[in-house]
Amino acid sequence: MNRVVVTSVAAVTPLGNDDDTSWQNLLAGKSGVGMISKFDTTDFDTKIAAEVKGFDPTVYINKKEARRMETFTQFAVCASKMLFESAGWSIPESEKERAGTIIGVGLGGLHTIEEMHTKLLDKGPGRISPFFIPILIANMAAGQVSIEAGAMGPNICTTTACASGTHAIGGAYTDIAMGRADVMICGGAESTISVLGVAGFNAMKALSVRNDEPEKASRPFDADRTGFIMGEGAGLLLLESLDHATARGANILAEVVGFGASGDAYHMTAPPEDGSGMALAMRNAIREAGVDPSQIDHINAHGTSTKLNDLCETRAIKKVFGDHAYDIAICANKSQMGHLLGAAGGVEAVFAVKTLAEGVIPGTINRDTPDPKCDRTARVSSRPNTP
């Protein structure tokens, strides 16, 4: 089995259009949540979201090509350009067949579906763009990134709701560990702050309606949490085998030592209240890593700010770690940037790598009244950051 390392990270988030800006704003305790600007929210219960602000895809993408990409694909391609800029490296011609791309996307091109459906009703099928299908499909993020990077190895889109980005990283890690590839671009991308997206999650009663206080609406593990906040963006990692990274003199930021996945086999939207499914994924990762649970000292939590997730996640952590759970420092990035859905695992992995590389754990804002049922979160910081 090959050892797998992280040699570069990149992100576009509601906290900034690159990973450094996003990281600094995260440490400063800033919120990326505000009023929705993408459409008229007059008839919507939820009027707030964590939008990416001031994003210009033409900084990295030709204007003509950018028009043929959905926003989630633009996020991914721009992040991939930054990824290689940060690495100070590009894939040589001789190595392209050993480099791959796996990018998770939860929902894909909702904006394009809305636009084309309106055009269909107003002007008929003859006015539908020939790029309609290629633009909206979820695997376009991985596809376009592979074209830009020249990565000819595995090219995959993982679509597993909130776990899409994390599963992409796990799959990329596995491909390198098993020797199928030497280099993998991986993570997640999403942009579904749209009429259909917000209306759909409102119908599920999943979103916060704390419209009068946008920056305080996302509050993981707080007793007064009322739902999650939709976010958007992309987070990518460059993974390499240790031998490959060492041979080219790469700057190694972290090592991936294990991955765990599980299915609740329970319900289409709700986790089992005892947290057993989440606990199984954590145990699988720890077992594959070959470490003892007592060696874990930090968790970047899912922390969605929904009643059920935060409770179940607390119970899962206690199941896996027992008394040691109370000694683990936990952070919930979604308190500041909302829930990026398919991109969440990618962006939060970027922040986890930065936590390791820089030795500072981001705090969790808006945890003003700790939920006593989420008592494991006693060490979740409400300060800007925890050294």
The active-site residue out of 111, 167, 244, 339 is 339
- Within 8 A by CB and 6+ apart from 62, the residues are none
Active site includes 162? Answer: yes
- Alpha-carbon gap, residue 10 to 252, rounded angstroms: 14
Tokens linked to 226: 């009322």
Annotated catalytic, 339? yes
End-to-end CA distance of the chain: 34
Contact criterion met (CB below 8 Å) for 186 and 239: yes
Establish whether 331 is a catalytic residue. Answer: no
Catalytic residue chosen out of the listed positions 111, 167, 244, 302: 302
DSSP state of 52: -
Torsion of the alpha carbons at 171, 177, 180 and 186, rounded to the nearest 10: 40
Q: Taking a C-beta distance cutoff of 8 angstroms, is the pair 242, 86 a contact?
A: no
Name the residue with tokens 């998770």.
104
Is the distance from CB of 6 to CB of 173 less than 8 angstroms? no
Residue of 78, 162, 186, 331 marked active site: 162
Q: Which of 61, 195, 48 is nearest to 115 (CA)?
A: 195
Q: Enumerate the H helices of 49-95 as residue ranges.
A: 63-67, 71-87
- Give me the helix-helix angle, 19-27 and 344-358, nearest 10°: 70
- Residue 159 amino acid letter: T
CA distances 219 to 6, 52, 190, 327, 331, Å, are 30, 20, 21, 22, 12
Give me the active site residues, please: 162, 302, 339
